[in-house]
A and B are shown apart, each in its own frame.
Chain A
Amino acid sequence: MYPENFRYTKEHEWVLVEAGIGTIGITDHAQQELGDIVYVDLPKVGAAVDQGKSLGSVESVKAVSDVYSPVSGEVIEVNHALSEAPEKLNQDPHGDAWLVKVRLTAPGEISNLLSAAEYQSYIGAEK
């Protein structure tokens, strides 16, 4: 369910770091809690994001949820397909429906994040 090569936050984001680039998304657990996602608000390319700070938000019909960046860096790509089809976040949150790609400025931050096993036990306890 939760890929081993991702790192996770307690706010239910994931990041996959490859060659200094972090791909960020929300977890399957997050999309389930939110229900049908109707809108995604994302930063612009070039924006600076900080670990633990909001980088955007996702909305269902009756809730808005901030997305907190798992890493610090500069946004280099935004998944525009989500603005046309936000439902993808419900269908493939760990794959096609990534939110942004970020060039990391503090790669060491990764060590603050949860592993797949830790995240799974965290959401297990939350329930």
Chain B
Amino acid sequence: MSIQKVRAHISQNEALLFERSSPGKRGYQLPGLDVPPVDPAAALGAENVRVEIEGFPEVSEVEAIRHFTRLSTWNYAIDYGMYPLGSCTMKYNPRVNELVARTEGLAWAHPYQPEALSQGAMEVMARLEAALLEITGMDAVTLQPAAGAHGELTGILLVRACLEKRGNPRKKILIPDSAHGTNPATAAIAGYAVENIRSSERGTLDLAALEQAVTEEVAALMVTNPNTLGVFEENIARVSELLHRKGAMLYMDGANMNALVGITRPGDFGVDVMHLNLHKTFSTPHGGGGPGGGPVAVKKVLEPFLPVPRLKRAGKKWTWNYKRPDSIGRVRAFYGNFGVLVRALAYILAHGGEGLRNATLDAVLNANYLRKKLEPYFDLPYPLPNMHEVVFSDDRQSRRGVRTGDIAKRLIDYGFHPYTVSFPLIVHGALMIEPTETEGKLELDQFADALVSIAAEVESDPDLVKSAPHSTRTSRVDEVTAARRPVVRWKPASTGSQAAG
């Protein structure tokens, strides 16, 4: 089969900035100084003044823009095409969000400027809070956490503070074996021991196992719903009752909220505390790995413990309330990743309530459509109905010595970003595919065709797949040498990086 989506084009070589640098070049001009100059040695003490920034680059403006533009073309991006990383929700990032985040009065707002001059920024936050509460069905929300994992930490600290107030913080957090790695890492940082819970044969929470595991030592269960197989935890309400009966709480990792918005609300199925990933569900850009936003929504019982400060209405004005004796304190300086919050609100405003629900319907339709097209060619170890993502295994292909990682690399030759590889851990050789709602039928068809074609290649020419990608400017990289002898900064020629070829 021919590859329809892509063909090769020339990409520019580009050296590192330090190799492009030469003394005396400049890409800046400062305005004339309108005050007398100050002698640094006199003002700061000679011993405090540095001679130079050794090795720092010196390039012209033209070289600078070519440098970053050339490098940019070495990246794949949503703007090029489908980016079906399961659990990551790589959807289209509307550009108006970028524009409004740069609105002068918002982008240049100083966090310590008077509240009277910050009402616009506070209004944005208040409006986003209200929207997130309606979407989640929870009672209160903090926008302070900087990312999903940071939100998890905040959420578990809230549980801890609440249980402490009741007299016993307890010892353990239960985490299903299908969970994201951040869940156990978070529990450990919050001072809890982690107990892993095996999923049932169907790939969902095992009620009987949970019944055993939930003791007076358990502080909370951390659940992703739908779980990392893309399957809705149908017993979630009963799980919540079970936990509550034993005085424990239900934490929901909101990574997969894109499957739920407008259809069902965590607050209505017994969740006590959850985080949202604004960069997933609400389309603030991933930006090559951040910044994100990780608001934490809670039921009333946890509200007193939320981080300070809290937005509060005082007459006709918004104000920051710091007087909250039970608060866990701050989890970061200032009020949160405000610029990300602006983008998330812009996204919600653009969709409106009905639009958000329609986005969920399309996200789930896309995943089911791919499942239908790919099921004849790849093993589906957990065949329950899936929502926004579908997880296959490489069982069939590994018999020919081809693993999920190889298939992923071969997808690159077909013009797609790979799916999530080898996760969740409960699937042997997982191919975790999340198309999101912002893919059209043509892109989905081409993606399915590509995987079907690769499945055929696995039978006819497995080595072709195992040595992929073949068409990228960078072939498979030697991660082993990178880890054995780490070179994590540039050094002048003889000791470190060599000039690019």
| Interface residues of A, Cβ cutoff 8 Å to B | 36, 38-39, 59, 61, 86-87
Contacts and interface: CB of A to CB of B under 8 A. Distances in A.
Interface of B: 479-480, 483-484
Contacts of A38: 480, 483-484
Nearest to B422: A62
Contacts of B479: 61
A126 to B, nearest CB: 15
A39 B485 CA distance: 9
B482 to A, nearest CB: 8
B476 to A, nearest CB: 12
A71 B480 CA distance: 31
Mostly helix, strand, loop or mixed at chain A's interface? loop
Contacts of A39: 483-484
5 contacts: A36-B480, A38-B483, A38-B484, A39-B483, A61-B480
Given A36-B480, A61-B483, 10 more contacts: A38-B480, A38-B483, A38-B484, A39-B483, A39-B484, A59-B483, A61-B479, A61-B480, A86-B484, A87-B484
Contacts of A59: 483
Contacts of A36: 480
When A and B form their complex, which 7 residue pairs have the shortest distance between CB atoms, in order from nearest? A38-B483, A36-B480, A38-B484, A61-B479, A61-B483, A61-B480, A38-B480
A86 B481 CA distance: 11
A8 B479 CA distance: 31
Contacts of A61: 479-480, 483
Nearest to A38: B483
Contacts of B483: 38-39, 59, 61
A87 B479 CA distance: 13
Nearest to B480: A36
A19 to B, nearest CB: 34
A36 B480 CA distance: 7
Contacts of B484: 38-39, 86-87
Contacts of A87: 484
A87 B484 CA distance: 8
A39 B484 CA distance: 6
A59 B483 CA distance: 10
A65 to B, nearest CB: 14
A126 B423 CA distance: 23
Nearest to B484: A38
B420 to A, nearest CB: 14
A50 B483 CA distance: 30
Nearest to B479: A61
A38 B480 CA distance: 6
B432 to A, nearest CB: 16
B462 to A, nearest CB: 19
A33 to B, nearest CB: 14
Nearest to B483: A38
A16 to B, nearest CB: 27
A62 to B, nearest CB: 8
A5 B479 CA distance: 36
Nearest to B405: A62
A56 B462 CA distance: 38
A59 B484 CA distance: 10
A67 B380 CA distance: 35
A87 B483 CA distance: 11
A82 B382 CA distance: 42
A10 B483 CA distance: 28
Contacts of A86: 484
Contacts of B480: 36, 38, 61
A87 B480 CA distance: 10
B206 to A, nearest CB: 25
A36 B484 CA distance: 10
A59 B480 CA distance: 11
B400 to A, nearest CB: 19
Nearest to A90: B480
Give the one of A36, A39, A59, A87 with max B CB within 10 A: A36
A115 B479 CA distance: 36
A127 to B, nearest CB: 14
A84 to B, nearest CB: 9
A56 B485 CA distance: 20
A61 to B, nearest CB: 5
A85 B60 CA distance: 42
A102 B134 CA distance: 62
B405 to A, nearest CB: 10
A97 to B, nearest CB: 14
A87 B478 CA distance: 14
A39 B480 CA distance: 10
A86 B480 CA distance: 11
Nearest to A39: B483
A59 B482 CA distance: 13
